[in-house]
Amino acid sequence: MSKYLGPVLKKLRAVGLPLPRFRNKGNNPPGQHGAKRKRRKSSYGLQLQEKQKVIYSYGWRDKQLKNEYVKAKSESGDTGVNLLVGSESRLDNLIFKSGLVNTLGFARQLVSYKHFLVDGKKVNIPSYKIEPGQVISLKKEKMKENKIIKSILEQNRKFPPYIAFDKQKLTVTYLRYPTVEELSKDIEPSLIVEWYNRKV
């Protein structure tokens, strides 16, 4: 499966995820008659929907997510929780969650263009896994004067407790892995595990 490049908000609505708070379209499926198209899904459909939620929430490619599942399964603890923690630990996701940028796509673009450093080293892979204690920083000082970034910072967005964001230096520190309680309540990891148990 190739990477989806279409409207992300439309896909989020289609799988029942809440939209970013700056939008107000509700959580019904997209389209004029979206609210009327709700049907009872089979167990297969529910499992597929949860997998799609992770793909569109974190920007995984299908093959990447499958590999992440295999890795999560080999680790101790709950496989589904491990999968979500691994997703939260992506470089692009942590930049987005810090409030430094306003969309995951913008974070991914800046990483791909080599605008960020991890512990002082250039990283241009959005799915790069950050370990607790590592620090993400902007490569060039002049990026701090970027009009888009300055405008976003004025919104004073809240960031999760497992991230420390220095608004003066514009650095993001990954303090620790998120707890189960801090993971998305809109994704049911056990259904994703059931999906991949069929496939892997």
Q: What is the CATH number of the domain that holds 101?
A: 3.10.290.10
Average pLDDT over residues 17-39: 56
Residues 116 and 160 in one domain: yes
Q: Residue 154 is part of which domain span?
A: 90-176
Quick one: CA dihedral 144, 145, 146, 150, positive or negative?
A: positive
In a domain, 2, yes or no: no
**What is the rounded CA–CA span in Å between residue 99 and residue 168?**
13
Band of residue 168 on the pLDDT scale cut at 50, 70, 90:
confident
CATH of the domain at 194: 1.10.1050.10
Confidence of residue 198 (pLDDT cuts 50, 70, 90): confident
Residue 17 scores a pLDDT above 60: yes
Taking the C-alpha atoms of residue 16 and residue 85, their distance in angstroms, rounded to an integer, is 21
Is the full-model pTM beyond 0.85?
A: no
Residue 36 has pLDDT above 60, yes or no: no
For residue 26, tell me if it sits in a domain. Answer: yes
Counted domains in the chain:
2
